[in-house]
């Protein structure tokens, strides 16, 4: 059962071929046996998960179940979950018990999901390999010497290894899509504002977006149908009505126009990854899609723009962690200033400190105009490139990552090389566009991801294209042999 899709397990629960309690026990047993090797979970909520499962079985019995009732999932440890630790994988929040549920958590809870626990992540979502966590790195189930990607690496590893059915993630510059690509999953980042950010601990507020990591597009559609929607507690939440994404997959396929950015296929892209992406594009051609070469003129600026804008917003957001109100507090301090300095110095890891310092610098007097303001102008140019492209094409498709998963420790001492792992994904965040990664091949036994980007509020277009691609291929059905 642990390798079945969410939709298959939902059907089995509805037909009473398995109970929610039995399903939950299966996944809890796998977590107990496998998590020490992967380090995917930082909190396992076994007792409350079984309580959730009992309630789910009652809903199934009385006919009040939803398609997600009884489905065992995990939340990235950046979402507040009432009564459970929410740490952002940081020493700063190692003792923080959330007093309320994030909106996305509450919606899924209301739908009847079973919460197995909270997954490991890069500290405060700052990283591309899940190596910056206070609790240690997550390992890729396809090869435990490799990274699973970040920052949602714990969620990705948990789903890929069959420790949960599906998981939430967050994507600020590729943090859902990149780990999805490196672990052979389907990962979707919706339009900015489509899913509420309330209760999702902030990194970079104009970029952060909640999404899902699942085995296939049909599973993602089921999750997103529940999670999306307006939230008056989030000022950036969109009021547009949410379609039933699962129902959208059942409508007939219409041939689409696909734009392939020629500047993605440069010397930085691994040749075998490029070949797998080309094979993926050929599948869309077989389905009747028209493939067209396009050029996103300013996409090359996305990494430097991101690493000005995101640290600037992080510097502001993380100023609240001062050792006074909640979180880590230094002991035996001399005065209030010493409390601030030592609490933050002890509570934050090296990458978080690096980004706070960078962000404070670019926002400082004399440098704001030279760096932050210029980055915002370049950000608009990148958004305009996508807008222009979508006048001629329906989707922009290309590689998700430049290489397959790399070795743990291989890039930790070279921040620039680490940042370049997100070179293809950051543009969608800067423009606020929906985007997803789907499996399209294997290179040396490691998964490769194909990235799809759509216009604003076109999640159904993404999901439908991914679904029809997956009807023609079986890459999304591949599982790591050691965790089969």
Chain centre to alpha carbon of residue 2: 21
Virtual torsion, Cα 471, 473, 475, 481, nearest 10 deg: 100
Burial of 78 (0-12, 13-18, 19+ CB in 10 A): buried
396, 431 contact by CB (below 8 A): no
Q: Is 45 helix (H, G, I), strand (E, B) or coil?
A: coil
Partners of 395 in beta bridges: 258
Q: Which residue has the tokens 């929040």?
A: 93
Q: Which residue has the tokens 């294209």?
A: 465
Catalytic site residue from 87, 90, 128, 151: 151
In 3D, which of 202, 149, 201 has the Cα closest to residue 174?
149
Residues 6+ apart with CB under 8 A from 252: none
Catalytic site residue from 152, 155, 175, 315: 175
Q: Where are the extended beta strands (E) located within 147-282?
A: 166-170, 186-189, 210-214, 257-261
Catalytic site residue from 76, 107, 189, 411: 76
Helices 217-227 and 459-472 cross at an angle (nearest 10°) of 160
> How does strand 72-76 pair with strand 114-119?
parallel
Q: How many C-beta neighbours within 10 Å does residue 335 have?
A: 8
Q: How far apart are CA 76 and CA 80, in angstroms?
A: 9
> Which tokens belong to 479?
């599982």
Q: How far apart are CA 232 and CA 171, in angstroms?
A: 22
Q: How far apart are CA 130 and CA 156, in angstroms?
A: 10
371, 362 contact by CB (below 8 A): yes
Residues 6+ apart with CB under 8 A from 361: 367, 371
Catalytic annotation present for 175: yes
Q: What are the angstrom distances between the C-alpha of 287 and each of 88, 291, 453, 454, 467?
A: 42, 11, 18, 18, 12
147, 131 contact by CB (below 8 A): yes
> Which tokens belong to 219?
């599973």
Catalytic annotation present for 151: yes
Q: Where are the extended beta strands (E) located within 354-453?
A: 395-399, 435-443, 446-453
Q: Which residue has the tokens 């629960």?
A: 13
Give start and end residues of each alpha helix (H) in 39-126. Answer: 46-62, 103-111
Residues involved in catalysis: 76, 151, 175
């Amino acid at each position: 059962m642990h390798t079945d899709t969410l939709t298959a397990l939902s059907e089995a629960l509805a037909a009473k071929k398995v109970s929610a309690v039995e399903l939950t026990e299966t996944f809890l047993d796998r977590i107990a046996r496998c998590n020490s090797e992967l380090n995917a979970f930082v909190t396992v909520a076994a007792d409350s998960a079984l309580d959730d499962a009992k309630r789910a079985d009652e809903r199934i019995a009385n006919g009040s179940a939803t398609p997600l009732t009884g489905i065992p999932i995990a939340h990235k440890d950046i979402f507040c979950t009432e009564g459970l630790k929410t740490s952002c994988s940081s020493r700063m929040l190692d003792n923080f018990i959330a007093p309320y549920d994030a909106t996305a958590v509450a919606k899924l809870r209301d739908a009847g999901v079973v919460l197995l626990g909270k997954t490991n992540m890069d500290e405060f979502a700052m990283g591309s390999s899940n190596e910056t966590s206070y609790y240690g790195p997550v390992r890729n189930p396809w090869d435990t010497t490799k990274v699973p990607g970040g920052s949602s690496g714990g969620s990705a590893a948990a789903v890929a290894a069959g420790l949960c059915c599906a998981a939430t993630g967050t994507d600020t510059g590729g943090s859902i899509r990149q780990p999805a690509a490196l672990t052979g999953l389907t990962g979707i980042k919706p339009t900015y504002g489509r899913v509420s950010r309330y209760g999702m601990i902030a990194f970079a507020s104009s970029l952060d977006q909640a999404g899902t990591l699942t085995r296939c597009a049909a599973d993602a559609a089921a999750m997103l149908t529940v999670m999306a929607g307006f939230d008056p507690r989030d000022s950036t939440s969109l009021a547009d009505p949410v379609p039933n994404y699962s129902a959208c997959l059942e409508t007939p396929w219409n041939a689409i126009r696909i734009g392939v950015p020629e500047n993605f296929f440069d010397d930085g892209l691994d040749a075998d990854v490029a070949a797998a992406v080309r094979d993926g594009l050929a599948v869309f051609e077989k389905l009747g899609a028209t493939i067209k070469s396009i050029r996103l003129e300013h996409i090359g600026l996305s990494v430097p723009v991101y690493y000005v804008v995101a640290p600037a917003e992080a510097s502001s957001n993380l100023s609240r962690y001062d050792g006074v109100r909640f979180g880590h507090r230094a002991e035996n301090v001399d005065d209030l200033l010493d409390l601030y300095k030592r609490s933050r110095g002890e509570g934050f890891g090296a990458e978080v400190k690096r980004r706070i310092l960078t962000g404070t610098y670019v926002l400082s007097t004399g440098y704001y105009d030279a760096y932050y303001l210029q980055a915002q102008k370049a950000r608009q140019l990148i958004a305009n490139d996508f807008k222009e492209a979508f006048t001629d094409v329906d989707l922009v498709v290309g590689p998700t990552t430049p290489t397959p998963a790399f070795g743990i420790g291989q890039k930790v001492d070279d921040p620039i090389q680490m940042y370049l792992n997100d070179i293809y994904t950051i543009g969608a965040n800067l423009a606020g566009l929906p985007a997803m990664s789907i499996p399209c091949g294997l290179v040396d036994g490691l998964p490769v991801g194909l990235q799809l980007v759509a216009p604003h509020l076109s999640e159904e277009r993404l999901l439908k294209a991914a679904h029809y691609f997956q009807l023609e291929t079986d890459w999304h059905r591949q599982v790591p042999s050691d965790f089969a």
